[in-house]
């Protein structure tokens, strides 16, 4: 497994399907929007739902800063579609079969679950900040907002 990507590292190129089955190429965002990319273990689990709802509740703060939020895990397109609809999530969820992109970012498993890590990506496609907090999903959105303001 690769080392976890850190500040200043360029994110890998990747193309995944979103919750509607549309193909999303991450390069389409580079140079246009800052990104918050968060990796989470499972749709509808307690901590993951708190995390997603925290990003939902602060989504306007991110868009006001020109940031697009993207959640990624190995769940199916159908699972992401249901999760997004159930919790009225205003941002994109990407399906990462086999956790290929998660592995490219170097995110390590915690016990038997995939890791939970969030990255702030600048317009240049490089990581400006990151946060790892496996059991505190709700903290990810607020931490990213504070890091976003600190790197502005």
Active-site entry in 11, 36, 37, 48: 48
48 is catalytic: yes
Contacts 24+ apart (CB under 8 A), 11-14: 11/37, 11/105, 11/119, 11/121, 11/125, 11/126, 11/127, 12/101, 12/104, 12/105, 14/100, 14/101, 14/104
Rounded CA separation 58/80 (Å) = 20
Active site residues: 48
């Amino acid at each position: 497994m690769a080392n976890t990507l850190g500040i200043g590292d360029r994110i890998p190129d990747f193309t995944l399907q979103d919750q509607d089955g549309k193909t999303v190429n991450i390069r389409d965002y580079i140079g246009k929007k800052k990104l918050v990319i968060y990796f989470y273990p499972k749709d509808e689990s307690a901590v993951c739902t708190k995390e997603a709802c925290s990003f939902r509740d602060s989504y306007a703060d991110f868009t006001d800063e020109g940031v697009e939020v993207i959640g990624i895990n190995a769940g199916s397109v159908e699972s992401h579609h249901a999760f997004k609809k159930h919790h009225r999530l205003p941002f994109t969820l990407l399906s990462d079969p086999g956790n290929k992109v998660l592995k490219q970012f170097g995110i390590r498993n915690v016990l038997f679950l995939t890791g939970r890590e969030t990255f702030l990506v600048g317009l240049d496609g490089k990581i400006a900040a990151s946060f790892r907090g496996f059991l505190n999903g709700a903290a990810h959105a607020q931490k990213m907002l504070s890091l976003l303001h600190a790197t502005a």
